[in-house]
Amino acid sequence: MRAFVIDTTQGELFASVVDAPEPHDGEVIIRVEWSGVNFKDALVAEPQSRVRRSLRLIGGVDAAGIVVASTTSAIRPGDRVAVHGGDLGVGRDGGFAGVVAAPARYVSVLPSTVSTRDAMVLGTAGFTALASLLALEHHGLTVNDGEVLVTGATGGVGVWSVVALAHRGYAVTASTGSTSEHEWLAERGAARVIGREEIADRPERVLASERWAGAVDCVGGDTLHQILRSLRYGAAVAASGLVASATLTTNVYPFITRNVALLGIDAVEASAATRDKVWELAGQLVPSLEIEHLIDSVIDLEGLPNALDTIRRGATRGRILVQLA
């Protein structure tokens, strides 16, 4: 089968012919039709990656396709599935291949309304966005509460957050560092688009004005600090990004005087219950959305080096899909 190999022993990234995997206990074998390029894939491909846990592996942290073999009764040959997590593309061979073996615990049977291509238009990024939305609503966010901020809005998680929140009826403020993308984000559903520098408010004070009824932060670092100090009383931010920085320097005042919450969103080890809820929501949203507009580009395995560099630089808008079949 064809696959995209990351070989740090040689310092190379390349498409090659490799042996197809054999199933082990608790695993599912999937004939991959589509994969997607995520920021995490770019981190894994870096020569001195702190994320990668294998010297040589097939990349790709998510994939969708058809089950060809299964060692569990819950997932059967012929099922259309999506998979992410479980060290996929990080410590074990991932989805940039014609066939992938994955632990069944991380494999989800797709709703009838979601194709394998649709599933990778969502991918790990879309899954994270929908999980963020569900977490905010579980915390108490409603459409009548006011503006919801999305940072890093042109990236995969960001644009899916804008689309999903807007489709639910929320007033979405999208933040981006690219002024050329304001119209594109408005077309995706943002009620207002601002520059990333506009998030900071009254930096000389411990707390900023109460602005956001909720937020999805895909950036991290000082941006997350600025969100925390400007959330409304009792509001929450769902955080999943670190493209600006993994370091958060803040204080306790937003938490103890405004009762705000910082909700961590982990798509990798999400429980089966969370995965079911996210894909159920996806099954409701996808048929009524023009998701083709969320695709940056469609590539093959040979296009991955350039795509990884593009996403590392933050120069994408939406999802990069990898077609395997």
Q: What would the DSSP string read from start to end of 151-167? A: SSTTSHHHHHHHHHHHH
Q: Calculate mean pLDDT across residues 103-111.
A: 96
Both 86 and 168 in one domain: the answer is no
Q: How far is CA 306 from each of CA 53, 125, 233, rounded to the nearest angstrom?
A: 23, 19, 44
In the predicted structure, residue 10 carries a pLDDT above the cut 80: no
Total domains, the chain: 2
**Which tokens belong to 185?**
């984000």
Whether 279 is in a domain gets the answer no
Tens of pLDDT along 12-69?
Answer: 888 888 888 988 899 999 999 999 999 899 999 998 898 999 989 999 999 999 999 9
Whether 273 is in a domain gets the answer no
> Cα 204 from chain centroid?
34
Give the C-alpha separation, 218 to 161, whole Å.
10
Give residue 98's identity as a one-letter amino acid code.
G
What is the pLDDT at residue 141?
98
Give the C-alpha separation, 319 to 176, whole Å.
16
Domain of 172, CATH number, reads 3.40.50.720
Tens of pLDDT along 234-286?
Answer: 999 999 988 889 999 999 999 999 999 999 999 999 999 999 999 999 999 99
Both 161 and 43 in one domain: the answer is no
Report the percent of the chain where pLDDT is more than 70.
100
Both 139 and 236 in one domain: the answer is yes
Torsion sign (Cα): 300, 302, 308, 314: negative
- List the domain range (segments joined by +) for residue 302: 2-109+291-323
Both 128 and 226 in one domain: the answer is yes
What is the pLDDT at residue 313?
86
Q: Calculate mean pLDDT across residues 94-120.
A: 97
Computed on alpha carbons and rounded to an integer, the radius of gyration of the chain in Å comes to 20
Name the DSSP letter for residue 19: P
Both 258 and 296 in one domain: the answer is no
Both 134 and 259 in one domain: the answer is yes
What is the pLDDT at residue 232?
98
Q: Give residues with Cβ within 8 angstroms of 183, minimum separation 6.
A: none
Both 251 and 209 in one domain: the answer is yes
| 317: three-class secondary structure by DSSP | coil
Give the C-alpha separation, 187 to 166, whole Å.
11
HSE, CB side, 13 Å, CA atoms: give it for residue 7: 10
Domain of 70, CATH number, reads 3.90.180.10
What is the pLDDT at residue 84?
96
Torsion sign (Cα): 35, 40, 43, 49: negative
**Of 66, 185, 184, the residue nearest 117 (C-alpha):** 66
What is the pLDDT at residue 96?
98
Whether 101 is in a domain gets the answer yes
pTM for this entry: 0.91
Both 142 and 242 in one domain: the answer is yes
What is the pLDDT at residue 58?
96
Give the C-alpha separation, 27 to 131, whole Å.
25
Q: Calculate mean pLDDT across residues 141-157.
A: 95
State the burial class of residue 216 (Cβ atoms within 10 Å of its Cβ: 0-12, 13-18, 19+).
buried
Give the C-alpha separation, 287 to 293, whole Å.
14
Backbone phi, psi, residue 297, to 5°: -165, 165
At 169, the pLDDT band (50, 70, 90 cuts) reads very high
Q: Give residues with Cβ within 8 angstroms of 268, minimum separation 6.
A: 84, 85, 86
Tens of pLDDT along 190-241?
Answer: 999 999 889 987 777 889 999 999 999 999 999 999 999 999 999 999 999 8
What is the pLDDT at residue 45?
93
**Of 185, 225, 189, the residue nearest 207 (C-alpha):** 225
Give the C-alpha separation, 94 to 36, whole Å.
11
Could you list the beta-strand ranges (E) of 54-98. Answer: 56-58, 62-70, 80-84
Please say whether the beta carbons of 170 and 144 come within 8 A.
no
Both 31 and 146 in one domain: the answer is no
| 138: three-class secondary structure by DSSP | helix
At 317, the pLDDT band (50, 70, 90 cuts) reads confident
What number of helices (H) and strands (E) belong to the chain? 8, 16
Give the C-alpha separation, 102 to 23, whole Å.
8
Mean pLDDT in the chain? Answer: 94
